[in-house]
Amino acid sequence: MTQRNRTARLAAGVAGAALLLAGCAAQPAAETPADQPTGTDAASTGPRIAVAYEGGVLVVDGETLEVIDDLASEEFVRLNPAGDDRHAFVTTSEGFQLLDVREPELTDLVVEAGAAGHVVRHGGKTVLYDDATSDTTVFETAALAEVDGALPDAEVIEGVEAHHGVSVVLEDGTFVTTVGDASGRNGIRAVDADGTEIAVNDQCPNVHGEGAAADEALVFGCENGVLVFDDGAITKLTSPDEFGRIGNAYATEHSPLVVMDYKDDPDAEGYLLTNLALVNTEAKTIEKVELPDGISYTWRGVVRTEDGDAVMIGSDGRLHVIDPATGEITASHEAIEAWESPTEWQQPHPAIAASGDVVYVTDSANSTIVALDPHTGEEIASGELPHVPNEIAVVG
pLDDT in tens, 333-375: 999 999 999 999 999 999 999 999 899 999 999 999 999 999 9
Cα gap 170→94, rounded to integer Å: 28
Report which secondary-structure segment, H or E, holds 286: strand 285-290
Predicted confidence at residue 45, as pLDDT, reads: 81
221 and 209 in contact (C-beta within 8 Å)? Answer: yes
How many Å apart are CA 275 and CA 262, to the nearest integer? 5
Question: What values do phi and psi take at 144, rounded to 5?
Answer: -65, -35
- Residue 184 confidence (pLDDT): 87
How many angstroms separate the CA atoms of 213 and 106, rounded?
Answer: 32
Q: What is the DSSP letter of 149?
A: S
Decide if 108 contacts 151 (C-beta within 8 A).
no
Rounded Cα distance between 119 and 131, Å, is: 11
pLDDT on residue 193: 95
What does the pLDDT read at residue 31? 34
Which helix or strand (DSSP H or E) is residue 23 part of? helix 21-24
d(CA 173, CA 149): 28
56, β-bridge pairs: 53, 72
Residue 310 and residue 366: Cα distance in Å, rounded? 25
- Burial of residue 341 (CB within 10 Å: 0-12, 13-18, 19+) is middle
| pLDDT for position 183 | 80
* 144-168 per-position pLDDT tens digit: 999 999 999 999 999 999 999 999 9
pLDDT of 170: 98
Q: What is the 3-state secondary structure of 336-362? A: CCCCCCCCCCCCCCCCEEEECCEEEEE
Task: Spell out, as residue ranges, where the chain has pLDDT lower than 50.
Answer: 1-43
The DSSP call for residue 297 is B
